[in-house]
Each structure stands twice: as C-alpha cells, then as structure tokens.
Amino acid sequence: MAVVETRALSKVFGTGETRVEALRGVDLTISEGEFIAVMGASGSGKSTLLNLVGGLDAPTSGEIRVGGIDLGRMGDDERTLLRRRRIGFVFQFFNLLPMLSAEENVSLPLVLDGVSEAEAARRALAAMEAVGTLHRRGHRPGELSGGEQQRVAIARALAVEPVLVLADEPTGNLDSVLAQQVVGILRRLADERRQTILMVTHDARSAAWADRLVQLRDGRVVEDAPIAARGSVHEVLARLERVP
C-alpha cells in the first residue's frame, strides 16, 4: 500500500522578480514500511517537500496523498488534525520541553489531543521501550545525552502511532557515532514495525541505511534509486554528480 503519493507536485514562493520554484513536478511514491532518504544541495527543495508531505504547507499545483488522504482537498484545521494524529515528526534539535520528564515529553502530544492520561502513558512507555529509553523515563532533557534526547524525540513521534514518520536532519546535531545509532533505530523501526519513514539528510552515511535515495536538484527529482547495500549510497551520489 502506498503511504505517500505525489503527482506533478509543485510549489512556488513569491511573484515577479522574487518568484522561486521550490518544487517542479515531483512524482514520488512511498510504500508501507519503506525508509526513504532525501538528499540535495541547499535550495534543492528538500525542506519544501517535507513540509508539503507533512501538511505544514499547501502545494501550488499537483496532488499529494498521505495514507490515502488527499491533502489538497483539506483545510488548515483538517491538516492540523492529520499532523497530530497520523504523522510523527523528528527534528534536528529534538524540540523537547526542558521542564518535563522524558515520559511526559512523549505523552504530552497525546494528552493535548484528548487521549486519556492512562492511554497516553501506556503508548508513551511502549514507544520509549521501542527506542531503548524506558530506563530514562523520569529524566529531564538536560539530564540526557544528545543521542538519548533524539531517541526520546523519536519515541514521541511513534507514540501517536503514525502512518508516516518525517525526520528532518535527525542526525544533524549529533556526532558521528551517535548519528549512526539514531539512524540505526529508524532502520530497525522500518524492518520490525513496518514503519514508513521519510528522512531528509545531508549525511551520506545516514542515507546509506535507507531503502531508497531520492536526490533533488533545483526542485526536481534527478534520481530515485534503491540502495542495495549499506555504503552503496556513495556510488549513487557519485553517479548523480555527473547528471547535468
């Protein structure tokens, strides 16, 4: 089943001399359980694509479906509910509330959405166990390492039981060792839980864990290639450098 489908997806910002075509006719399909890495230079359209798929912005033209739902036909309030209940977000800088414990950070979005405290706690603890942070449930973010904070952030995304996880440079604030640990968790979630993941990254080592590499250039997909084995992403990128 396709979790994400985009057809001729385009996004334009500004008018006249300030007009920028951030995305130009992007076609993309992501199946359930796939782990997709998106790479490209600054200004290639990576963040714009993530924002459109996440319902944070509306396309200028084209179609986009997440979990079979046509985002183009949704209003702002409907997209807000979709983000809250169907999509998990993981950010570069963790975005944890410093005054709350790890468990409270994970369960807070559920409580705010009207989930009972008991059910929110159950789902939070299950998500923390899945990423290996259950033993740190009572600690605040300031008492956690960067890698632990990102694990908690991933647990927060999982707790909503999303159809899709969007990860925006999830290893960008970590050293190389912790980065590989975190992206390894994403790989395991795709393998063991059939979690669909779309990750934007600048790091080829992190992208190597994905099933496919989508390369953007000037708002267009220049290649959508499977990664047969870890490390082969470097060969894909080397080939893309020769694409005019």
- Domain assignment present for residue 116? The answer is no
Q: Write the CA distances from 74 to 46, 78, 85, integer angstroms.
A: 22, 6, 15
Structural tokens at position 122: 């159950």
- Enumerate the β-bridge partners of residue 88: 165
- Domain assignment present for residue 62? The answer is yes
- Domain assignment present for residue 78? The answer is yes
Q: How far is 75 from 20, CA to CA, in rounded Å?
A: 24
- Domain assignment present for residue 58? The answer is yes
Residue of 111, 133, 3 lying closest to 67 (CA atoms): 3
172-199 exposure pattern, b = at least 16 Cβ within 10 A, e = fewer: ebbeeebbbebbebbbbbbeeeebbbbb
Point out the residues of the chain with pLDDT beneath 50. Answer: 230, 243-244
- Domain assignment present for residue 79? The answer is yes
- The confidence score (pLDDT) of residue 17 equals 81
pTM (predicted TM-score):
0.91
- Domain assignment present for residue 100? The answer is no
- Domain assignment present for residue 64? The answer is yes
Domain count, the chain: 1
- The confidence score (pLDDT) of residue 180 equals 92
The one-character DSSP state at 134 is: G
Quickly tell me which residue has 């299950």 as its tokens.
Answer: 126
Phi, psi of 45 (to 5 degrees): 115, 5
CATH classification at residue 80: 3.40.50.300
Q: Residue 27: which domain range?
A: 2-95+161-240
Q: How far is 83 from 102, CA to CA, in rounded Å?
A: 21
- 25 near 62, Cβ under 8 Å? yes
- Domain assignment present for residue 104? The answer is no
- The confidence score (pLDDT) of residue 47 equals 92
Structural tokens at position 109: 């979005």
- The confidence score (pLDDT) of residue 227 equals 84
pLDDT (tens digit per residue) in 68-126: 999 988 888 999 999 999 999 999 889 999 999 999 999 999 999 999 999 999 999 99
- 149 near 97, Cβ under 8 Å? no
